[in-house]
């Protein structure tokens, strides 16, 4: 019998965990847990001037993402993974993101995504495909 995967969560190495937390908050994600440098996991917001956040678990509905501080410089040109995020209304989502200062691409309707999709880069160059089935 093959192994039965229960769930899959992406882990992205990022240059600045707090910056990624702020970016993904605009997509509806909340911090479920975080680790500050040299400390144990917590859901508390780090104190100003305190140790930096080195890892965070983000969630929004059934979507989960872990982000962790990269050991090496992050090269946006080397991010070869696509993250698909699904929304009920892609046009309203795109409009909201533009209003928050983001620059998602135009909505297109390829054969595999008749509801439409558009592309958005996160601060580290990861490609987010925002889609409506």
Q: 1 burial class (0-12, 13-18, 19+ CB within 10 angstroms)?
A: exposed
User: What does each C-alpha distance from 91 to 30, 64, 114 come to in angstroms?
Assistant: 22, 23, 13
Average pLDDT, the chain: 91
Domains of the chain: residue spans and CATH? 1-72 (3.30.720.120), 79-133 (3.10.180.10)
Write out the two tokens for 98: 């533009």
Q: How far apart are CA 28 and CA 11, in angstroms?
A: 18
Q: Counting Cβ atoms within 10 Å, is residue 80 exposed (0-12), middle (13-18) or buried (19+)?
A: exposed
CA angle (44, 93, 96) in 5-degree steps = 75
Note the pLDDT tens digit of each residue in 66-95.
999 999 988 888 888 899 999 999 999 999
Tell me the CA end-to-end span of the chain in Å, nearest whole number.
32
What are phi and psi for residue 23, nearest 5 degrees?
-60, -50
For the stretch 101-121, pLDDT in tens is 999 999 999 999 999 999 999
pLDDT of residue 92: 97
Record the tokens describing residue 119, joined without a space: 């592309």
| Percent of the chain residues topping a pLDDT of 90 | 74
Q: Which residues does 55 contact at the CB level (< 8 Å), separation at least 6?
A: 17, 34, 35, 66, 67, 68, 69
């Amino acid at each position: 019998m093959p192994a039965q995967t229960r769930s899959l969560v992406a882990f992205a190495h990022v240059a600045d965990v707090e910056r990624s937390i702020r970016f993904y908050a605009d997509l509806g994600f909340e911090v479920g847990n975080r680790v500050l440098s040299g400390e144990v996991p917590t859901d508390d917001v780090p104190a100003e001037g305190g140790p930096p956040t080195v890892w965070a678990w983000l969630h929004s509905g059934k979507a989960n993402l872990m982000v962790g501080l990269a050991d090496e410089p992050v090269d946006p040109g080397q991010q070869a993974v696509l993250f698909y995020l699904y929304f009920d209304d892609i046009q309203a989502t795109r409009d909201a993101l533009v209003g928050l200062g983001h620059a998602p691409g135009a909505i297109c309707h390829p054969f595999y995504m008749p509801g439409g999709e558009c592309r958005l880069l996160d601060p580290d160059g990861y490609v987010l495909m925002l889609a409506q089935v």
